[in-house]
Amino acid sequence: MQRRSLARTIAAVSALGLTGALGGCGLGTGSSGITLELIAADYGTGVDDSSKKYWAALTEEYEAEHPGVRIDVTVHSWNDVDREVKERVDAGDPPDMAQIGAYADYAADGLLYKADDVLSIPVQADFVSQLATAGQIAGVQYGMPFASSTRVLFYNKTLFEEAGLTPPATWDELAANAQALKEEGVKYPYALPLGPEEAQAETMQWLLSGKGGYTDTMGIYGFDSAQNTRTVTWLKDELVGKGLTGPVAPGELDRADAFAAFTAGDVGMLNGHPSLVGMAEQKGVEFGTVPTPGASGESRATLGVADWMTAFKKSGHRDEIGDFLDFVYGKDQVLAFSRDYDLLPVTTSASRVMARSAEDEKLRPFLDQLPTAELYPVGKTSWADVNAEIKQRIGKAVSPNGSPEDVLGRLQATAVRAESAR
């Protein structure tokens, strides 16, 4: 422990003295023949912008300053990365690091280093507070946020101008706008993607706007709360039931298809994350964004989403992992990644730069939402099972013969069973 404490102190001094540069650059230099394996997710849309390019440039820079350390990065699509890591873990051969969608199960099984085992104090303290908290189990941080986003309401400016509309601030205004857009022949007045791809995001965004959510203030699941039931019932009756959500049933509409319809000019309004900005710009769609409408005014909270970096204990390369991650979370590296993929920085230092930079103006509406964002209950080991159940069931709640009370009650029962089984 004395060696580790000294190493962390050296890394802390380096980070304080060289903001945005190599953190703790002396730590890995003395190592000989160390290879660290990282499995990462791909945030790109194809070969030209694959995350492979980001990691190749980053590791080349790191290895040039650390000749005794090699970083072996394998990038998988989001459809495969979590499964790839799980298979490696189940086989008893986890990578040194994995950048994935969840961490709680691995932490609960004692497989992960704590954040303060590997990161220097300045780097760990630089995480945006909401994201750092979401990475904790019982007050101990295991999940290190790697990428984040929030949600705002996108609207098609051209369609709104043609219909003489202004952006909504309340549910009633949203419904009235959707009705006007429908009368103008808009294919999807409001796109409501409750299909299995990412139904959990659209659902939580709406529940938050109705002053509810997946959990209460004590972190206890509350799917069947009065607020949540009221919200889903309103969606069923006032949007879906009145034909304001387009030709595809919400339970069959995936987010990717909704985004594609928006960039084709066929959607009046939908909830979206930062990457939709670039997609719409590439297609020449004139759009605007506003905070999510709520039942009686602007929503008190928006959905925040984070992906996680994890460090596995199996190899025993704690010092080398920590030194590399200190570099990964340098201000310049975090900014570069966020800008490359239209995401929000996970560190305060990079967020401050983005908030002041004209270059990042298009991401500012999302950045402004981060202080009030609420994240999925990813610190619960039950979340994976509950998340899967939301994706399969929630679309049925707003179907013609669906019952919000019944579906939310079933989700609550699933959540309770999953919690008790852990």
The CATH number covering residue 322 comes to 3.40.190.10
- Are 244 and 189 in contact by the 8 Å Cβ rule? The answer is yes
The answer on 213 and 123 residing in a single domain is: no
The answer on 263 and 144 residing in a single domain is: no
Average pLDDT over residues 332-344: 95
- The reply to whether 371 falls in a domain is no
78-95 tens-digit pLDDT? 889 999 999 999 999 999
Q: Has residue 16 got a pLDDT over 50?
A: no
At residue 24, the pLDDT reads 32
At residue 265, the pLDDT reads 98
Cβ neighbours around 140 below 10 Å, total: 12
295-320 tens-digit pLDDT? 999 998 999 999 999 999 999 999 99
The answer on 141 and 159 residing in a single domain is: no
Q: Residue 312: beta bridge partners?
A: 112
The answer on 310 and 199 residing in a single domain is: no
Q: Has residue 35 got a pLDDT over 80?
A: yes
Residue 346: phi, psi to the nearest 5?
-95, 0
What is the full DSSP assignment across 272-327?
Answer: E-THHHHHHHHHT--EEEEPPBBSSSB-S-EEEEEEEEEEBSTT--HHHHHHHHHH
Dihedral of alpha carbons 117, 120, 125, 128, sign? negative
The answer on 187 and 41 residing in a single domain is: no
Pairwise CA distance, residues 130 & 144, whole Å: 12
What angle do the packed helices 348-356 and 331-340 form, to 10 degrees? 60
The answer on 104 and 9 residing in a single domain is: yes
The answer on 178 and 98 residing in a single domain is: no
Distance between start and end Cα atoms, the chain? 32
Cβ neighbours around 164 below 10 Å, total: 8
At residue 422, the pLDDT reads 66
User: pLDDT above 90 covers what percent of the chain?
Assistant: 87
Pairwise CA distance, residues 173 & 152, whole Å: 16
At residue 372, the pLDDT reads 84
The answer on 210 and 65 residing in a single domain is: no
340-394 tens-digit pLDDT? 999 999 999 999 999 999 999 999 999 999 888 999 999 999 999 999 999 999 9
The answer on 340 and 405 residing in a single domain is: no
38-52, 99-113, 220-234, 278-292: least confidently modelled range: 38-52
Q: Has residue 125 got a pLDDT over 60?
A: yes
Pairwise CA distance, residues 389 & 196, whole Å: 9
Q: How confident is the model at residue 48 (pLDDT cuts 50, 70, 90)?
A: confident
Half-sphere exposure of 405 (CA within 13 A, CB side): 1
- The reply to whether 374 falls in a domain is no
Burial profile 352-385: b = 16 or more Cβ within 10 angstroms, e = fewer: ebbeeeeebeebebbbebbeebbbbbbbbbbbbb
The answer on 260 and 193 residing in a single domain is: yes
Pairwise CA distance, residues 263 & 186, whole Å: 14
Higher pLDDT, 24 or 291: 291
Return the residue matching tokens 């669906």.
402
User: pTM (2 decimals)?
Assistant: 0.86
At residue 220, the pLDDT reads 96
- Are 208 and 295 in contact by the 8 Å Cβ rule? The answer is no
The answer on 386 and 273 residing in a single domain is: yes
Which helix (H) or strand (E) segment holds residue 35: the answer is strand 34-41
* Distances 26 to 37, 260, 311, 336, 349 between C-alpha atoms, Å: 20, 48, 20, 24, 23
170-195 tens-digit pLDDT? 999 999 999 999 999 999 999 999 99
Average pLDDT over residues 397-420: 96
In one letter, which amino acid is 69? V
* Distances 253 to 35, 175, 244, 250 between C-alpha atoms, Å: 43, 19, 14, 5
Pairwise CA distance, residues 188 & 135, whole Å: 36
Q: Has residue 40 got a pLDDT over 70?
A: yes
Average pLDDT over residues 328-347: 96
- Are 178 and 186 in contact by the 8 Å Cβ rule? The answer is no
Q: Residue 104: beta bridge partners?
A: none
Contact residues for 303 (Cβ-Cβ < 8 A; gap 6+): 150, 151, 201, 204, 205, 208, 373, 374, 375
At residue 47, the pLDDT reads 85
- The reply to whether 377 falls in a domain is no
What is the domain range of residue 269?
152-291+382-421
- The reply to whether 25 falls in a domain is yes
Q: What is the DSSP letter of 222?
A: -
- The reply to whether 299 falls in a domain is no
Average pLDDT over residues 268-292: 95
Burial profile 224-253: b = 16 or more Cβ within 10 angstroms, e = fewer: bbeebbbbbbbbbebbbeeebbbebbbbeb
Q: How many domains does the chain have?
A: 2
CA nearest 328: which of 100, 114, 97?
A: 97
Cβ neighbours around 406 below 10 Å, total: 13
At residue 31, the pLDDT reads 45
Average pLDDT, whole number, for the chain? 91
The answer on 157 and 144 residing in a single domain is: no
